[in-house]
C-alpha cells in the first residue's frame, strides 16, 4: 500500500489535534523483516524508506505508481545509512559493504539495486532518503572516519552533540540530498536546540538507538505556536520548510537527518528567537 503524505501549511497545522498531527507527519513501522517499506511526502517529494533483508535479498522497487518511471532512480538519487548489522548493497553489479552507521550515496541513473544481510542473526537495516535529481553524481560509500564531524552544544544546556555529515557540500556530492546523523554525548538529551527553520529545504528526522520503554518529544510547528509529537524507536517525522524541528529524549538516542530543497548549504538556517516561543 502506497503511503503518501500531502504538503501542509502552518495555518492548517494549527487546527490539527494529536492524532491528525501524527497522521500527517509521523512515519511508523519503517522496518519489516524481508520487506521494503516507504512513505512519500509531497514536501520536496522525498521518499523515506526502510529495507530490512534477513532471509532473502531485496531489490529496490521501481514504485511506478509514484515515479511513473521504469526504475526508481531514473530521475532520482538516494542516500542510505545502515542502522543494523553488516549488510551489502549491490549497485548495477558493484558491491558495497555497509557496517553499522556507514553511508552509501547512489546517483541518478542506477538501475538494479539489491540489498542483503551478512548475518541473519543480526540483520542489516537500511534507512533511505530518496529525492528527485536533475544531475548524475557517482555512487560513493563513506565510513565514520570519512564523515565531517562537527561538535555543537554544551553540558550546561544539555545539548552537547557531534554531527556526522556524510552527503553535503564538502562531502559526498549529490544533486540536492543532504544527509548524516547526530550523536548526543552522555548526559545530553536535547537535539537541534536552540531550534531553527529553513524555508529553502524540508527535512526528515529518524530516531533510533532508543530503548523500547523510552520516548522522544519531538517539537515542530511555528515558533509562536509549537506542537509536539511523541516518538518511539525507529520512527521518522516529516519537518516542513516553515517548521522548527527539535527534540528531547527520556534516554540516550541517535537520529538521522535528511534534507532536500533549493540548496545544500548546511548552515543556511534561520534561528528561532527563544523569547518568542509559545
Domains, the chain, in order of start with CATH, read: 4-276 (2.60.120.10)
Compute the distance between CA of residue 278 and CA of residue 274 in angstroms, rounded to an integer: 9
Mean pLDDT, the chain, as a whole number?
A: 96
Compute the distance between CA of residue 218 and CA of residue 6 in angstroms, rounded to an integer: 20
At residue 52's C-alpha, the angle toward residues 51 and 58, to 5°, is 70
Query: What is the DSSP code string of 104-146?
Result: EEE-TT---EEEEES-TTS---EEEEEEE-SS----EEE-TTT
Assess whether pLDDT exceeds 70 at residue 34. yes
Cell numbers given for 26: 509521523
If you compute the radius of gyration of the chain from its CA atoms, what whole number of angstroms results? 18
Compute the distance between CA of residue 37 and CA of residue 28 in angstroms, rounded to an integer: 10
Q: What pLDDT sits at residue 77?
A: 98
| Predicted confidence (pLDDT) per residue in 199-226, tens digit | 999 999 999 999 999 999 999 999 999 9
Model confidence band, residue 194 (pLDDT cutoffs 50, 70, 90): confident
Read off the pLDDT of each residue in 12-19 and give the average, rounded to a whole number: 96
Q: How many CA atoms lie within 13 A of 34 on its CB side?
A: 5
Q: With residue 96 as reference, give the H or E element that holds it.
A: strand 94-98
Share of the chain above pLDDT 70, in %: 100
Contact, 164 vs 100, CB < 8 A? no
Compute the distance between CA of residue 87 and CA of residue 106 in angstroms, rounded to an integer: 16
| Predicted confidence (pLDDT) per residue in 91-147, tens digit | 999 999 999 999 999 999 999 999 999 999 999 999 999 999 999 999 999 999 999
Model confidence band, residue 1 (pLDDT cutoffs 50, 70, 90): low
Contact, 233 vs 210, CB < 8 A? yes
- Global model pTM greater than 0.95: yes
Compute the distance between CA of residue 20 and CA of residue 33 in angstroms, rounded to an integer: 28
Alpha carbon distance, N-terminus to C-terminus of the chain: 38
Amino acid at each position: 500500500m502506497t503511503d503518501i503524505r500531502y504538503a501542509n501549511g502552518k495555518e492548517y497545522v494549527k487546527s490539527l489535534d494529536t492524532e491528525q498531527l501524527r497522521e500527517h507527519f509521523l512515519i511508523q513501522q519503517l522496518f519489516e523483516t524481508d520487506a521494503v517499506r516507504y512513505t512519500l511526502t509531497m514536501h520536496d517529494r522525498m521518499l523515506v524508506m526502510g529495507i530490512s533483508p534477513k532471509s532473502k535479498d531485496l531489490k529496490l522497487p521501481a514504485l511506478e505508481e509514484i515515479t511513473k518511471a521504469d526504475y526508481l532512480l531514473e530521475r532520482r538519487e538516494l542516500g542510505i545509512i545502515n542502522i543494523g548489522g553488516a549488510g551489502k548493497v549491490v549497485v548495477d553489479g558493484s558491491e558495497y559493504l555497509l557496517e553499522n552507521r556507514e553511508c552509501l550515496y547512489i546517483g541518478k541513473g542506477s538501475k538494479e539495486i539489491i540489498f542483503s544481510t551478512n548475518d541473519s542473526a543480526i540483520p542489516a537495516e537500511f534507512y533511505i532518503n530518496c529525492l528527485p535529481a536533475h544531475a548524475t553524481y557517482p555512487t560513493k560509500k563513506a565510513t565514520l572516519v570519512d564523515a565531517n564531524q562537527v561538535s555543537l552544544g554544551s553540558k550546561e544546556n544539555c545539548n552537547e552533540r557531534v554531527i556526522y555529515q556524510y552527503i553535503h557540500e564538502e562531502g559526498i556530492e549529490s544533486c540536492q540530498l543532504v544527509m548524516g546523523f547526530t550523536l548526543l554525548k552522555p548526559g545530553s538529551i536535547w537535539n537541534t536546540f536552540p531550534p531553527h527553520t529553513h524555508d529553502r529545504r524540508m527535512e526528515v528526522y529518524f530516531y533510533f538507538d532508543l530503548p523500547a520503554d523510552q520516548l522522544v518529544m519531538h517539537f515542530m510547528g511555528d515558533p509562536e505556536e509549537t506542537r509536539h509529537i511523541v516518538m518511539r524507536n525507529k520512527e521518522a517525522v516529516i519537518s516542513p520548510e516553515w517548521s522548527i524541528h527539535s527534540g528531547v529524549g527520556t534516554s540516550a538516542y541517535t537520529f538521522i537527518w535528511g534534507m532536500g530543497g533549493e540548496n545544500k548549504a548546511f548552515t543556511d538556517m534561520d534561528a528561532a528567537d527563544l523569547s518568542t516561543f509559545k
